[in-house]
Chain A
């Protein structure tokens, strides 16, 4: 059974650029959630995708967008990068769409915006 994988592991961008982060969910999981974790803080929920539809969204601006594909892998896109977007971006997959399911996290993508 393959766990959650994310790519790339590290990324450096400059302000105003756009970035795409990728996530492959664990086998058998149809739900992917994305989180932003700033240094020294707990993760902040960005959004969740369930069977290719956005299932819910946290307090992030529209320049944070996402997709889920038929194989349940997912992308997080961030446009017009700002310095404060520097963080660890975590993807988590779960078997179903509710908060009742344990979420299994990938290793994360560390984004640095200069």
Chain B
């Protein structure tokens, strides 16, 4: 059974700094997703990572996947306040997504 763990669960950082969110998963996953959720809002798809070594970048966010280590990372470069949100990773297992608990990211000016 696929389990997904994220860390840290809470992250407060200054604008302009870099940081990484980690997502470990327990068994083989079809693929790995990253989503963003703003308070009281729904989930917005950020990245889908399909294979070992996959790297995707959008603006200040970059996601990567290491299937051998069963690890995905979401790296934030030169953070800005607008990136404050909760970030979730999810693994694909057959027809369903198995989600991590989320990382609440607060970026202070």
A99 to B102, CA, bound (A): 20
A103 to B4, CA, bound (A): 18
- CB <8 Å contact, B96 and A45: yes
A97 to B4, CA, bound (A): 22
Contacts A98-B95, A108-B42 hold; do A42 and B101 have CB atoms under 8 A apart? Answer: yes
- CB <8 Å contact, A42 and B102: yes
Contacts A99-B30, A100-B92 hold; do A90 and B42 have CB atoms under 8 A apart? Answer: yes
B41 CB–A CB distance under 8 Å: yes
A41 to B102, CA, bound (A): 7
- CB <8 Å contact, A99 and B42: no
Size of interface on B: residues with Cβ below 8 Å to A: 24
Q: Which of B89-104 contact A (CB under 8 A)?
A: 90, 92-102
- CB <8 Å contact, B99 and A42: yes
A36 to B103, CA, bound (A): 18
- CB <8 Å contact, A104 and B31: no
Size of interface on A: residues with Cβ below 8 Å to B: 25
A95 CB–B CB distance under 8 Å: no
- CB <8 Å contact, A104 and B45: yes
A33 CB–B CB distance under 8 Å: yes
- CB <8 Å contact, A41 and B42: no
Residue of A nearest to B47 (CB): A102
B26-65 vs A, CB cutoff 8 Å, 1 = contact: the mask equals: 0000110101000001111100100000000000000000
Contacts A41-B102, A42-B100, A100-B31 hold; do A55 and B42 have CB atoms under 8 A apart? Answer: no
Interface residues of B (CB under 8 A from A): 4, 30-31, 33, 35, 41-45, 48, 88, 90, 92-102
Q: List 8 A-B contacts (CB under 8 A).
A: A42-B101, A43-B99, A45-B98, A56-B96, A90-B42, A99-B93, A99-B96, A102-B48
